[in-house]
Amino acid sequence: MADQSVTVDTDPLAAPVITGDDALEGTLVTVGGGDWDEVVDTARLGEERIVVNMGPQHPSTHGVLRLVLEIEGETVTEARAGVGYLHTGIEKNMEFRSWVQGVTFCTRMDYLSPSFNETVYCRGVERLLGIEVPRRADVIRVLLMELSRIGSHTVALATGGMELGSTTVMMDGLRERDKVLRMMEEITGLRMNQGFIRPGGVAQDVPASTLNRLDDMVTSLRHGIRELELLLNENPTVRARLVGTGYLNLAGCMALGITGPVTRSAGLPLDLRRDDPYCGYSDYDFEVCTRTDADNYSRMRIRLDEMFESLKIIKQATARLRKEPGPVMVDDKKIGWPAQLALGGDGLGNSLEHIKHIMGESMEALIHHFKLVTEGFRVPAGQVYTAVESPRGELGCHLVSDGGTRPYRAHFRDPSFNNLQAVSAMCEGAQIADVVANVASIDPVMGGVDR
Amino acid sequence: MTDQPSVPAAVPGAAAPATATPTTPTVIAAGSGMFGASDGGDTSGYSGLQRVTTLPGAGTRPYGGYFDAVADALQESLTEAGFGADDPDGPIEKVVIDRGEMTLTVRRAHLVEVCRRLRDEPDLRFELSMGVSGVHLPHDTGRELHAVYHLRSVTHSRRLRLEVTCPDADPHIPSTVAVYPAHDWHERETWDFFGIIFDGHPALTRIEMPDDWPGHPQRKDYPLGGIPVEYKGATVPPPDERRAYS
């Protein structure tokens, strides 16, 4: 029977300390704050192994990620990630809503890159339907996705900086992100979870006045990101924490199915925008950023570089939107969402023109509107897998249709979910302080991991 | 289709494909009536309507694109291993080409062998796997549970989908973690949501649901339950028991 005095339990709310015969193995020490030295003395380092449960409620775990670390001194000997704390059953929910309503659900998965979730899902529905969206809709999608990528990367750097202890990086990063969110709000009406990209196109056109403000934002964003770069790139503290840590080479990436900045930091220019262009990405001029050191620092630099590439794409997309007017939703009245939105005195709603048309002029238009909104369209039976390059890697969507008005099965291959498997490979054998930096360099978004 | 009584056998021409030939399309839904209501109330005049939904069946040569090259290279590799092209119990059950995507239905006993060859053969090199996804098709008698693997070849810029089926009564599929370590979490997820047991997985535990959760929530027969909402004696049924269009 272990001596009761060897346990430390300073937190009155902590779970009771179990010792002796009731403990599974050795002595369990519950730590709820206090001095670490005391804990080490109490746990009598040496032969004992210490298992540290980091998270799920921990400010440096990037959300509700639980890390189970086995440590020996300051060295991590085993690292495991536990997920599932944010599981909301989005995939199951989508099976009971129409195909169009599915957008509302899937946009909430990876909440930092909503445009990617919407695009990959809509492209799946469109391939099942066998339709092509209008060119302008594709350009707007590209515009939104690249804006979203910048928004996501700035958060990755901001939270990563905060987790390393730098609140300046966090404030600067979030300041830049807010510019992106304001622009998102101007284009779609919402800062996050927009549900703007719909099967068949997008909900609304982008007006010319917005494009002018978009130009201003690009300039301001370029300065802001440059400032972040100046703050981070040669910062001795950042370099000390990031250079050479979190190493994962290309073989490791391939075996673990890792995509995105982590794989590109290992030297492989793996980018779906180049390898398997979608939404007309082959028409844009941009570079796929790679580095070869395969460490946390290269991943940070890749994220910074990619934001400049995204700005390049945004400029080209804006120019295209100015030059080529056109529809933003498929012409097929059996699929395209019928409502035409307009800004009235009481906010955004169905345009009076449209109301007049369906209520006063065309019985068929009214029937179409009613059937599409209540029942939705039917999608021929089959299955597809579509993928887009999200800020974290390949975001895939496996859709199965049984010919009905609702998805029979919608599965999302979220890059965060897959990439978190690399935590063990990156952290084992490293210092415990590096764990935080390694997780930040993977940049998991738990909403996407757990769906 | 979820509010259908499970009577696919009553539908003419929709015989259960228990001894399916490769060209038999997979029956995934059988519905009747206009709205799928089984308790009367369908006054549309279409209550006698019978509908059978099938997934696309096996394709015929030439498949087009890179699909022929993939099929040939895989067959050549499997022939080396002693499997003939027309072997009734061979690894490849059928090849489906649909919407520009290729799906190989693989017999589960040979899954690991097929995966290893797809990964290692220089002409195939599907070195990146995008994970495992499950589908539950209660009407596909004898093969209710499907595990779907999305493979990607970086070398050749190709994609391929593998589909493996197992019956509800014997939900076992060999684990592919040894070939694609990335499948570790994906197989755990598929076990968690569908109850497919991946034999040989290093630690097949739940990943999204709590450890003590009963049942597998993504299955079509998983009761949604819901919270009873009463209004003047009426109760709102959970979504899977409501009358719906499909």
User: How does residue B174 score in pLDDT terms, banded at 50, 70 and 90?
Assistant: very high
**Averaged pLDDT, A95-118:** 92
B135 contacts A83? CB cut-off 8 A? no
What token pair was written down for A298?
Answer: 């290269």
Asked if pLDDT for residue B44 goes beyond 60, the answer is: yes
Average pLDDT estimate for A202-212: 88
CA distance A405 to chain B (A): 6
Is A257's CB within 8 Å of B54's CB?
A: no
In the three-class reduction of DSSP (H, G, I as helix; E, B as strand; rest coil), residue A407 is classed as: coil
CA dihedral (A119, A120, A124, A125) positive or negative? negative
**Cβ–Cβ < 8 Å for B216, B222:** yes
Task: Between A345 and A313, name the one with better pLDDT.
Answer: A313
Alpha helices in A326-444 (DSSP H): 352-356, 363-374, 415-419, 422-427, 432-442
> Is the backbone peptide bond immediately before A56 cis, with ω within 30 degrees of 0?
yes
Q: Look at residue B139 in the predicted model and tell me its pLDDT.
A: 83
Residue type at position A139:
V
**What is the rounded distance in angstroms from the CA atom of residue A10 to the CA atom of residue A31?**
7
For A289, the token pair is 């950023």
Between A356 and B22, whose confidence is greater? Answer: A356
Structure tokens at A292: 């070869």
The one-letter code for the residue type at A72 is E
Contact yes or no for B150 and A398 at CB 8 A: yes
Q: Could you give the CA distance from residue B216 to residue B222 in angstroms, rounded to a whole number? A: 7
Residue A25 has pLDDT above 70, yes or no: no
Quote the pLDDT of residue B38.
60
* Closest by CA position to B128, among listed A262, A152, A132: A262
SS3 A88: coil
Sign of the four-CA dihedral A413, A414, A415, A416: negative
Residue A48's pLDDT band, with cuts at 50, 70 and 90, is low
Closest CA to B97 of B140, B66, B142: B66
- Among B124, B176, B188, smallest CA distance to B152 is for B124
Q: Which of A310, A154, A302, A148 is nearest to A227 (CA)?
A: A154
Compute the distance between CA of residue B164 and CA of residue A212 in angstroms, rounded to an integer: 52
pLDDT band at A167 (very low <50, low <70, confident <90, very high): confident
3-class SS of residue A302:
helix
Dist. CA A398–CA B189, nearest whole Å:
15
Nearest by CB: A385 against B56, B161, B239: B161
**pLDDT at B242 (0 to 100):** 76
| Gap from A417 CA to chain B (nearest CA, Å) | 8
Residue range A386-405: mean pLDDT, rounded: 92
More confident residue, A134 or A24: A134
The string of DSSP codes covering chain B is: -TTS-S-GGGSTT----TT--TTSPPEEEEEETTT---SS---SS-TT-EEEEE------S---TTHHHHHHHHHHHHHHTT--TT-TTSSEEEEEEETTEEEEEE-GGGHHHHHHHHHH-TTT---EEEEEEEEE-TTSTT--EEEEEEEEETTTTEEEEEEEEE-TTS-EEE--TTT-TTHHHHHHHHHHHH--EEET-TT---SSS-TT--S-TTSTTS-------EETTEEPPPGGGS----
Q: How near does any CA of chain A get to the CA of B152, in Å?
A: 10
Tell me the pTM. Answer: 0.85
Confidence of residue B19 (pLDDT cuts 50, 70, 90): very low
- Residue A185: what are its φ and ψ, rounded to 5°? -65, -40
**Beta strands B172-174 and B197-199: pairing type?**
parallel
Yes or no, beta carbons of A418 and B182 under 8 Å apart: yes
List, in order, residues 6 or more apart from A361 with CB less than 8 Å away: none
Tell me, what's the pLDDT at B18?
Answer: 38
Confidence of residue B184 (pLDDT cuts 50, 70, 90): very high
A9 class by beta-carbon count within 10 Å (0-12 exposed, 13-18 middle, 19+ buried): middle
Got the DSSP string for A42-62?
HHTBTTB-EEEEE-SS-TTSS
Tell me the pLDDT tens digit for each residue of A283-338. Answer: 999 999 999 999 999 999 999 999 999 999 999 999 999 998 888 888 888 888 87
Residue carrying structure tokens 């589909």? B163
Q: Which residues pair with A175 in a beta bridge?
A: none
Residue of B nearest to A396 (CA): B130
Q: Which residues of B touch A257 (CB under 8 A)?
A: 128-131, 180-183
pLDDT at B239: 79
- pLDDT grade for A349, boundaries at 50, 70 and 90: confident
* Subunit contact B246:A405, Cβ cutoff 8 A: yes
pLDDT of residue B141: 82
Span A233-237, average pLDDT: 89
Residues in chain B: 246
Burial class (CB in 10 A: 0-12, 13-18, 19+), A422: buried
- Which pLDDT band, with edges at 50, 70 and 90, does A59 fall under? low
Q: Which helix (H) or strand (E) holds A384?
A: strand A382-390
Residues A383-409, mean pLDDT to the nearest whole number: 92
The number of beta carbons lying within 10 Å of the beta carbon of residue A310 is 26
Residue contact B150–A254, C-beta within 8 A:
no
What value does the mean pLDDT take over residues B5-17?
37
Two structure tokens written together for B147: 């595990």
Beta-carbon neighbour count of residue A396 at 10 Å? Answer: 26
Question: Which residues 6+ apart lie within 8 Å of A116 measured at CB?
Answer: A110, A145, A148, A149, A388, A390, A391, A395
B192-206 average pLDDT score = 92
The shortest C-alpha distance from B125 to chain A (Å) reads 12
pLDDT attached to residue B45: 73
- Write out chain A residues lying below 8 Å of B134, CB-based: 411
Nearest residue of A to residue B150 by CA position? A385
What pLDDT, on a 0 to 100 scale, did the predictor assign at position A338? Answer: 77
- Verify whether the Cβ–Cβ distance A381 to B131 is below 8 Å: no
**By three-state DSSP, how is residue A412 classified?**
strand
Residues with Cβ within 8 Å of residue A229, at least 6 apart in sequence: A304
Mean pLDDT of chain B: 81
Q: Are B50 and B32 in contact (CB under 8 A)?
A: yes
The whole-angstrom separation of Cα B53 and Cα A382 is: 10
* Closest by CA position to A181, among listed A122, A248, A113: A113
Percent of chain A with pLDDT over 90: 47
B53-71 pLDDT per residue, tens: 888 878 888 888 899 899 8
DSSP codes joined into one string, A204-264: SPPPHHHHHHHHHHHHHHHHHHHHHHHHHTT-HHHHHHHTT-S---HHHHHHTT--THHHH
| Token pair of B83 as six digits | 């499997």
Please answer yes or no on whether B136 and A409 come within 8 Å at the CB atom. Answer: yes
Q: How far apart are CA B26 and CA B29, in angstroms?
A: 9
- Position of tokens 């129409």? A98
Site from A95, A96, A408, A420 to mutate, B interface, most B CB atoms within 10 angstroms? A408
Task: Tell me which chain A residues have a C-beta less than 8 angstroms from the C-beta of B189.
Answer: 417
Region B5-29: mean pLDDT is: 47
How does residue A365 score in pLDDT terms, banded at 50, 70 and 90? Answer: confident
Residue A42 has pLDDT above 70, yes or no: no
* CA distances to A325, B205, B214 from B211, in Å: 54, 8, 9
The residue of chain A with its CA nearest to that of B182 is A256
pLDDT exceeds cutoff 90 at A162:
no
The confidence score (pLDDT) of residue A281 equals: 92
The residue-averaged pLDDT of B120-148 equals 90
pLDDT at site A99: 92
Q: Residue A226 above 80 pLDDT? A: yes
CB contact under 8 A, B245 and A375: yes
- The percent of residues above 70 in pLDDT, for chain A, comes to 90
Q: What is the pLDDT of residue A409?
A: 92
With H, G, I as helix, E, B as strand and everything else as coil, classify residue A422: helix
Mean pLDDT across the stretch A15-22? 50
Q: Report the pLDDT value the prediction gives residue A62, as an integer from 0 to 100.
A: 72
Residue B172 has pLDDT above 90, yes or no: yes
- With an 8 Å Cβ cutoff, are B127 and A254 in contact? yes
> Between B55, B157, B180, which is nearest A276 by CB?
B157
Average pLDDT for A413-427: 92
Residue B228 pLDDT > 70, yes or no? no
Q: Which helix (H) or strand (E) holds A360?
A: none
**Is pLDDT of A244 > 60?**
yes
Kindly list the residues from chain A whose CB atom is less than 8 angstroms away from the CB atom of residue B161.
383, 385
pLDDT at A79 over 70: yes
The Cα A183–Cα A203 span in angstroms is: 16
pLDDT at B4: 39
- Measured between beta carbons, which residues in chain A are less than 8 angstroms from residue B245? 375-376, 404-405
Determine the Cα–Cα distance for residues A262 and A247; give it in Å rounded to an integer.
Answer: 10
For residue range A65-75, list pLDDT tens digits in order.
Answer: 888 888 887 88
The residue of chain B nearest to residue A84, with distances taken between CA atoms, is B208
Chain B residues with beta carbon closer than 8 angstroms to that of A444: none
Give pLDDT, residue B35. 62
Candidates B98, B189, B240; nearest CB to A382: B98
Q: Please state, rounded to an integer, the average pLDDT across all residues of chain A.
A: 86
- A4-13, A54-63, A249-258, B84-93 — which is least confidently predicted? A4-13
Q: How many residue contacts between A and B have a Cβ separation below 8 Å?
A: 128
A220 pLDDT more than 90: yes
Burial class of A250 by CB neighbour count within 10 A (0 to 12, 13 to 18, 19+): middle
CA atoms within 13 A on the CB side of A346: 4
Sign of CA dihedral A80, A86, A88, A90: negative
Helix, strand or coil, per DSSP, at residue A17: coil
Tens of pLDDT, residues B150-170: 999 999 999 999 999 999 999
Return the pLDDT at B195: 92
Q: What local confidence, expressed as pLDDT, does residue A412 receive? A: 94
Out of A142-156, B168-182, B214-228, least confident range: B214-228
Cβ–Cβ of A418/B131 closer than 8 Å? yes
**Tens-digit pLDDT profile for residues A173-193:** 999 999 999 999 989 888 888
SS3 A440: helix
Q: Is the pLDDT of residue B147 over 90?
A: yes
